[in-house]
Chain A
Amino acid sequence: MNDEEKNNEISDLLRSLPKVKAGEDFMQRLEMKIADFESGQNAVVKSNAERESFLDRIFGMMKNPWLVPAAGIAVAAVFVFYIFNFNKNEIRNDKDPVKIEGEKNIDRINPGQNDMPPPDAKENNQISVPGAVEEPENLKNKNRGTSSQNNESQIKINTGRTESQQVIQEKPEIIDGAVMEGRDEDADGGEMKAAPQEKTGLYKKEDAGKDKINIESPDRTGGPETSVPSELSTGDTAKKSESDSLMKSNRISKKNLDSLKKKIDK
Chain B
Amino acid sequence: MPEKNNTEYKNIPDEELISRFQNDDNDAFKEIVMRYKDRIVNFLFRFTGNKESAEDLSQDTFLKLYKNKHRYSEIAKFSTWLYTIALNEAKSNYRKEKKLKTFSINDYYDEGHGDYQLKSEDILPDEEANSGNEAFYIQRAIDSLIKKHREVILLRDVQELDYAEIAKILKVPLGTVRSRLNRARESLKITLENIHKQKKIRY
Contacts and interface: CB of A to CB of B under 8 A. Distances in A.
Contacts of B188: 10
Interface string A19-58: 1111100110110011001000000000000000000000
B38 A14 contact: no
B138 A22 contact: no
Contact of A17 (B46, B55, B181): B46
Contacts of A7: 182, 185-186, 189
Contact of B37 (A9, A22, A33): A22
B138 A13 contact: yes
A33 B138 contact: no
Contacts of A18: 135
Contacts of B63: 30, 33-34, 37
Contacts of B138: 13-14, 17
Given A10-B157, A15-B157, A33 B46 contact: no
A206 interface: no
Nearest to B55: A23
B66 A17 contact: no
A30 B59 contact: yes
A20 B136 CA distance: 13
A37 B63 CA distance: 9
Contacts of A20: 38, 41-42, 45-46, 51, 54
A134 B192 CA distance: 131
Contacts of A34: 63, 66
A7 B184 CA distance: 10
A22 B189 contact: no
Main secondary structure of the interface of B (DSSP, over half): helix
A21 B41 contact: yes
A221 B156 CA distance: 121
B62 interface: yes
A18 B66 CA distance: 29
A173 interface: no
B158 interface: yes
Contacts of B189: 7, 9-10
A3 B178 contact: yes
B166 interface: no
Contact of B62 (A10, A11, A14, A30): A30
Contact of A14 (B55, B58, B153, B186): B153
Nearest to A14: B157
Nearest to B51: A20
B67 interface: yes
Most buried by B among A15, A22, A23: A22
Interface in B129-175: 135, 138-139, 153, 156-158, 160
Contacts of A15: 157-158, 160
B41 to A, nearest CB: 4
Nearest to B156: A11
Given A10-B157, A22-B41, A17 B135 contact: yes
Top 7 A-B residue pairs of the complex, sorted by shortest distance between their CB atoms: A14-B157, A7-B185, A22-B37, A22-B41, A20-B45, A3-B182, A20-B42
Interface of B: 30, 33-34, 37-38, 40-42, 45-46, 51, 54-55, 58-59, 62-63, 66-67, 135, 138-139, 153, 156-158, 160, 178, 181-182, 185-186, 188-189, 192
Given A14-B153, A17-B158, A33-B59, 15 more contacts: A3-B178, A7-B185, A10-B157, A13-B138, A14-B138, A14-B158, A17-B46, A17-B138, A26-B41, A26-B58, A27-B30, A33-B63, A37-B63, A37-B66, A37-B67
Interface of A: 3, 6-7, 9-11, 13-15, 17-23, 26-27, 29-30, 33-34, 37
26 contacts: A3-B178, A3-B181, A10-B185, A10-B192, A11-B157, A13-B138, A15-B157, A17-B135, A17-B139, A19-B42, A20-B51, A20-B54, A21-B38, A21-B42, A22-B37, A22-B38, A26-B41, A26-B55, A26-B59, A27-B30, A27-B34, A33-B59, A33-B63, A34-B63, A34-B66, A37-B66
